[in-house]
Structure 1
Amino acid sequence: MSIRTAASTVESIQAGNHTDGRVRRNKPVWYGFLGVVMLATAWPVWLRLSEGLAVTDLTSQMPWGAWIAFYIFFVGLSAGAFLLSSLVYVFGMHQFERIGRAALLSAIVSMGVALAFVGFDLGRFERGPITLIFFHWTSPLSWEVRFYVIYIALLTAELVIALRVHKRMVWSVKKSLRWLKILGTVGLPLAIFGVHGGTGTIFAVVKARGMWFGGLFPVIFVVSAMVSGTALLILVHYWQSRASYRRPSKSLLNGLGVVLSGVLAVDLGLLFYEFVVPLLASEHQDLSIITVMTTGPFWWSFWIVQLLCGMIIPFVILVVPRFRANTPAVVLAATMVVIGIVAVRFNIVVPALIPPIIEGYPSNDYFPTLVEWASSAFFIAGGMLVYSLIAEWMPIHEPDPVDELEEDSMVSPEKEVKA
Structure 2
Amino acid sequence: MSLTKEPRVADATGPEKPTGLRRFLNESHGREPFLTNRNRVLWYGFLAICLIAGAWSVFLRFTQGLAVTDLTSQMPWGAWIAFYIFFVGLSAGAFLLSSLVYVFGMYQFEKIGRAALLSATISMFVALAFVGMDLGRFDRALSTLIHFHWTSPLSWEVRFYVMYIVLLIAELTIALRLHRGLVASAKKAQRWLRILGTIGIPLAIVGVHGGTGTIFAVVKARGMWFGGLFPIIFVVSAMVSGTALLMAINYWQARGAGRKPDKPLLTGLSTVLLGAILIEILLTFYEFIVPLLSFQENDTGIINIQTTGPYAWTFWILQLGLGMIIPAIILLSPLKRRLGWVVAAAMMVVVGIVGVRFNIVVPPLIPPIIDGYPFNNYFPTIHEWLLVVFFVAGGALLYSLVSEWQPIHEPESQTETDTEVAA
Structure 1 length-normalised TM:
0.91
Contact 2:33 2:404 in 1 (8 A): no
Which residue identity does 2:398 align to in structure 1? V
Q: What is residue 107 of structure 1 aligned with on the other side?
A: 120
Cα distance 1:158–1:20, how it changes in 2: closer, same or farther (>3 A)? closer
SS at match of 2:108: helix
Written as runs of structure 1 = structure 2, the 5 A alignment for 1:20-419 is 23-320=36-333, 322-401=334-413
In 2: Cα distance, 1:386 partner to 1:120 partner: 19
In 2: Cα distance, 1:277 partner to 1:359 partner: 26
In 1: Cα distance, 2:41 partner to 2:35 partner: 11
Which residue identity does 1:374 align to in structure 2? L
Cα root mean square deviation, aligned: 1.7
Q: CA deviation at 1:135?
A: 0.2
Q: What is residue 416 of structure 1 aligned with on the other side?
A: none
Contact 1:250 1:325 in 2 (8 A): no
In 1: Cα distance, 2:4 partner to 2:47 partner: 29
In 2: Cα distance, 1:333 partner to 1:139 partner: 38
Cα distance 1:288–1:392, how it changes in 2: closer, same or farther (>3 A)? same
SS at match of 1:361: coil
Which residue identity does 1:108 align to in structure 2? T
Q: CA deviation at 1:37?
A: 1.0
Q: CA deviation at 1:20?
A: 6.4
Cα distance 1:373–1:58, how it changes in 2: closer, same or farther (>3 A)? same
| 1:104-138 residue CA offsets vs partner (Å, 9 max, x unmatched) | 00000000000000000000111111100000000
Which residue identity does 2:331 align to in structure 1? L
Q: Which runs of 5+ in 1 are unaligned?
A: 1-11, 406-419
Q: How many residues align?
A: 392
Q: CA deviation at 1:364?
A: 0.5
Q: Which runs of 5+ in 2 are unaligned?
A: 8-31, 418-423
In 1: Cα distance, 2:79 partner to 2:414 partner: 44
In 1: Cα distance, 2:221 partner to 2:282 partner: 26
Contact 2:34 2:253 in 1 (8 A): no
Which residue identity does 1:376 align to in structure 2? V
Cα distance 1:100–1:396, how it changes in 2: closer, same or farther (>3 A)? same
Cα distance 1:64–1:80, how it changes in 2: closer, same or farther (>3 A)? same
Cα distance 1:225–1:20, how it changes in 2: closer, same or farther (>3 A)? closer
Which residue identity does 1:88 align to in structure 2? V
Which residue identity does 2:407 align to in structure 1? P
SS at match of 1:333: helix
In 1: Cα distance, 2:285 partner to 2:205 partner: 22
In 2: Cα distance, 1:280 partner to 1:343 partner: 25
In 2: Cα distance, 1:376 partner to 1:186 partner: 32
Structure 1 stretch displaced more, 135-144 or 311-320: 311-320
In 2: Cα distance, 1:21 partner to 1:140 partner: 40
Cα distance 1:163–1:69, how it changes in 2: closer, same or farther (>3 A)? same
The percentage of counterpart residues that share the same residue type is: 66
In 2: Cα distance, 1:336 partner to 1:162 partner: 30
Cα distance 1:174–1:273, how it changes in 2: closer, same or farther (>3 A)? same
Runs of 4+ off more than 3 Å: 12-22
Which residue identity does 1:181 align to in structure 2? R
In 2: Cα distance, 1:301 partner to 1:36 partner: 27
Q: CA deviation at 1:166?
A: 0.5
Contact 1:356 1:364 in 2 (8 A): yes
Structure 2 length-normalised TM:
0.90
SS at match of 2:36: helix
Which residue identity does 2:125 align to in structure 1? G
Contact 2:35 2:256 in 1 (8 A): no
